[in-house]
Amino acid sequence: MKFLKLVKWNIPPMKIIQSTLIMACFTLAACAQKHDTVALGKAYFNGFGCKQCHSVGHDGKLYGPDLTYVGFRKNRQWLELWLKNPHSWKNNTPMPNFHFPDEVRSALVDYLSSLKGQDFKGSPPWNEAAFSQEPIKRGEVIFSRAGCVGCHGIKGVGGYPNNNVVANKIPSLTLVADGYSKEELMERIAKGKRPDKTDPSGPAPMIEMPAWGAVLKTDEIEALAEYLFSLRPPKAAGEEW
C-alpha cells in the first residue's frame, strides 16, 4: 500500500518538524483573531504538514484520504478522537500521533468540520474531460476524492473500524453487485444509513453511512454504482450469482 512507505521517513523527522511548528503555531495563535478558529485550524493544518499526506480541494497529496468532504462524512466527536490518537481507533494506521495540545486539536476539528466540498470550487476532479465517457473510472475518482475510501478502504475492501456494529467493522463493498440492483444501490448511497447497534444498550456507532444525495448529483451516484459493480471479483467456476 502506498501509505506504508511513508511511515519509515515520517516518524523521526516528524518529531522535529512538530516541535518547531508547535512554536510557530503558538505565535500564530496569539496573533490570530480569537473567534476565527476555522482560519486558525487551517493555518495549523498547513503548518503541521498534513498536506504531505492529505489533500483539500486541488491542493495536497493523496497518500491518505482526500479531506475535501471530511466535514460532511465524519462528525466532530469522531474527528476529536482521531486527532487525539489515530492508533487508538485504527491500530495499524500510518497517520502519526501529533500529540496536539487541546486548543490546537480543537481548532483543527473546527477547520476539518467546515470542509464540505466547497474547496473543489464547482469543478471536482471527476468532472475532467478524460472521465466523461468512462463512468467506471469516473466513479473510482469520486470514490476516492469524495472520501468513500476513508471508511470503506481502497477499492472498497473494508476493514475500517466502527464501534458496536457487526464485527466492529464498516462493511466491505466488493460484493454489492450480488445484493443490489443499480437503482437500489443508488438509493442506498443517496440515503445513507445509521448502522444498527449490536448491543442495544451500548453507545451509538460513531461512524454512519452519510446521505450522499445531499452533496452528490444523480449522475455522480450512478457512476459510483457502476464502479462498485465493477469491484465484484470474477466468479469461480460453478459459483451461483
- Which residues of this protein are in contact with ligand HEC, per CB under 6 A? 3, 6, 10, 45, 48-50, 52-54, 63-65, 67, 70, 73-74, 79, 82, 90, 93-96, 98, 108, 112, 146-148, 150-152, 162, 170-171, 173, 176, 185, 188-189, 193, 195, 207-210, 212, 224
Report the residue number, 37 or 162, with the smaller CB distance to ligand HEC: 162
Residue 8 vs 237, nearer CB to ligand HEC: 8
- CA-nearest of 35, 207, 49, 223 to 126 is 223
Residue 32 or 75: which CB sits closer to ligand HEC? 75
Q: Least distance to ligand HEC from the beta carbon of 102, Å?
A: 14
Q: What Å distances lie between residue 201 and 89, 162, 197, 208, 218, CA to CA?
A: 21, 16, 8, 18, 37
Fill in the amino acid letter for 236: A
Provide the Cα torsion 34, 36, 38, 44; round to 10°: -50
CB of 61 to ligand HEC, least distance (A): 9
Torsion sign across C-alpha atoms 157, 143, 79, 75: negative
Instruction: State the Rg of the chain over Cα.
Output: 19
Q: Closer to ligand HEC by CB, 58 or 211: give it.
A: 211
SS (H, E, C) 108-119: HHHHHHCCCCHH
Q: What is the dihedral of CA 149, 187, 172, 62, to 10 degrees?
A: -10
Question: Residue of minimal CB distance from ligand HEC?
Answer: 150
Q: Report the nearest approach of ligand HEC to the CB of residue 132 (Å).
A: 20
Task: For the CB of residue 216, give the shortest distance to ligand HEC in the complex, in Å.
Answer: 7
Residue 107 Cβ vs ligand HEC, minimum distance, rounded to whole Å? 10
Toward ligand HEC, which CB reaches closer, 57 or 147? 147
Compute the residue count for the chain: 241
